[in-house]
Amino acid sequence: MQGLNQLALASLLTILCCLLSLWRKDGIARELFIATARTVLQILLLGYALTWIFKHPSLLLVLLVSTFMTISSALHSRTRIKTKYKGIFLDNLFATTLTIWPLALVGSLLIGTDPWWKPELFLPLIGMLLGNVLNGISLGIDQFTHEVHTRKEEILSMLALGASTSEATDGFFRRCIRVALTPMLNAMASMGLVSIPGMMTGQILGGQDPGEAAVIQILFMIFISVGVYLGSMTGIRLARNKLFNPKGIPCF
């Protein structure tokens, strides 16, 4: 009950921000309100779901929840990409699954929980990976689709010289990977100096030794950075294969 009171009080701050936005007419109030409401609802549901799952641990349940999270992630990533193309959801799903699942498996084996799928570790791990990789994939593909559409004539002029699709789009590819990785690189650069990562904060608040929390946080950050890089690279590559046919002719 005390938690709900805290939530209600904190929500007042959001309402104040929404009122400020309405007064300033900057058009952000509605989005801020909806985003906050969604967060409250989703996180509360997650809290209840995790409580239940932790009380009834099973491999099948962990895999089902992980699958649901992966599909949700691919759907969210798709909605964030403004210039869409046919097959974008499957590309997102493939890039996410191919990157996240092996990493989550390696991560849980490396941390050494018993069993490897222990929900208390596996679900937060896959959740953190998905959240960050979703961001990277959507940023990377969004930038790539935008660039190839707006700079189509430039790409055509390179293809015309005899460049292969990959030669003609490599410059775009590199830029888009950088765009996809920038938020994560910025976060990593300031981590420990400017910010204390959320997961580490949670563990410390939960009474964990800060040294142990730091090790787990570092492991997670390594997995996340690898995931964002591999995920965005796979996603952009898949997008390129859809946007150009095997003969190198643009399909948009």
Partner 1 sequence: MLLIRGMRLSNAVTINFDLPDNGLKVIRGPNGSGKSLFLKSIAFLMKSEFDQFDFNGKSISQWNPEVYRSQVLYVPSSTFNLEMSVDEYLEYPRKLAVYGQKKWSGESVGLCRKFELSGKLGILSMGQRQILNIIRAIGLDARILLLDEPTSHLDPDMAHIAENLIMQWKESTKGSLVVISHEQMLASRLGTTSTLFSDLVLSAKSSQ
SS3 (DSSP) at 3: helix
Among 13, 43, 90, 156, binds partner 1 (CB under 8 A): 156
Determine whether 251 is exposed, middle or buried from the number of CB atoms within 10 Å of its CB (0-12, 13-18, 19+): exposed
Please select the residue that binds partner 1; options are 80, 151, 237, 242, rule is CB under 8 A: 151
How far is 231 from 241, CA to CA, in rounded Å?
Answer: 15
Q: How far is the CB of 169 from partner 1 (least distance, A)?
A: 13
- List 1, 8, 160, 205, residue binding partner 1 (CB under 8 A): 160
Rank residues 58 and 157 by Cβ distance to partner 1 and give the closer one: 157
158 binding partner 1? (CB under 8 A) = yes
How many other CB atoms are there within 10 angstroms of residue 170's CB atom? 14
From CA 252, how far away is CA 233, in angstroms rounded?
21
Rounded to whole angstroms, the Cα distance separating 75 from 84 reads 12
Q: Which is nearer to partner 1, 71 or 154 (CB)?
A: 154
Nearer residue to partner 1 within complex by CB, 117 or 173: 173
129 or 159, CB closer to partner 1?
159
Q: Are 213 and 204 in contact (CB under 8 A)?
A: yes
Number of residues that bind partner 1 (CB under 8 A): 19
x/- site string to partner 1, residues 232 to 251, per CB under 8 A? Answer: -------------x-xxxxx
| 211 near partner 1, rule: CB under 8 A | no
User: Does residue 157 belong to the site contacting partner 1 (CB under 8 A)?
Assistant: yes
Determine, following the binding rule CB under 8 A, whether residue 150 of this chain makes contact with partner 1. no
In our burial notation (b when 16+ CB lie closer than 10 A, e otherwise), range 210-228 reads eeebbebbeebbebbbbbb
